[in-house]
Amino acid sequence: MAGRTGVTVRIVSNNLPHLAGFMRRAAVAEVKRASYSVEAQAKGKVPVRTGTLRRSIHSVFENGGLTGLIGPSVDYGLFVEMGTRHMAARPYMRPAAEAVLPTFATRLKMVIESIAAGGAVPDLPDLPPSPSLASIPRKPKKARRAKAKPARKVKPKHFESTGFKAAEKRHREYERVSKRAERTARAAARRRRKP
């Protein structure tokens, strides 16, 4: 037996069936982290007039969390991003996605390599916390020029009460009330006469 050497392989634990589950969970976690980061950065870069466009940006996950869709739900979000023939483009989604993409790619690569090598999900350093809506710096509002209002002619009330027009107005009101009273009295008399 001098020329015979033997190697015995003994499997203590078999993580191969669990490897796919580890990879899927790690990929879902990274997709969510990157999606929320893109959402936060887009909310920080979006041009704001009323805030509706910024509030409408949200993340939706499909394919069990492996696909993240981030974008606005208002109709005009695409026109602001791409521009029109009447308005220049003011991109906010593309720059946010381009800023997060390198970090997402390196983190996902590290996760896949460490799972493939050791079979465990690594503890990766967290991204800086995504800014909340309150911490996003607001753009200062443009100062609106106050429109000059035309000066109103204000008559003091005592002129109306003492002038000729006021007396004429009181007389017309008296005639109107008295005519109404006469009509009402005649109608009541007619009703009394009818048997």
Nearest to 114, CA basis, from 9, 195, 22:
22
Express each pLDDT in 86-99 by its tens digit.
999 999 999 999 99
Same domain, 127 and 164: no
Q: How many domains are there within the chain?
A: 2
- Report pLDDT digits (tens) over 136-177: 555 566 666 666 666 555 555 554 445 566 667 777 777 887
Percent of the chain topping pLDDT 70: 65
Neighbours of 43 (CB within 10 A): 23
With respect to residue 75, please indicate whether it lies within any of the assigned structural domains. yes
b/e per residue 167-189 (b: at least 16 CB within 10 A)? eeeeeeeeeeeeeeeeeeeeeee
Phi-psi region for residue 109, left (φ > 0), alpha (ψ -120 to 50) or beta? alpha
**Does one domain contain both 26 and 114?**
yes
Domain that residue 102 falls in: 16-131
Dist. CA 56–CA 78, nearest whole Å: 12
Q: Strands, E, within the chain: which ranges?
A: 58-62, 67-71
| Cβ–Cβ under 8 Å, residues 94 and 77 | no
pTM of the predicted structure, to 2 decimals:
0.56
- Same domain for 126 and 165, yes or no, is no
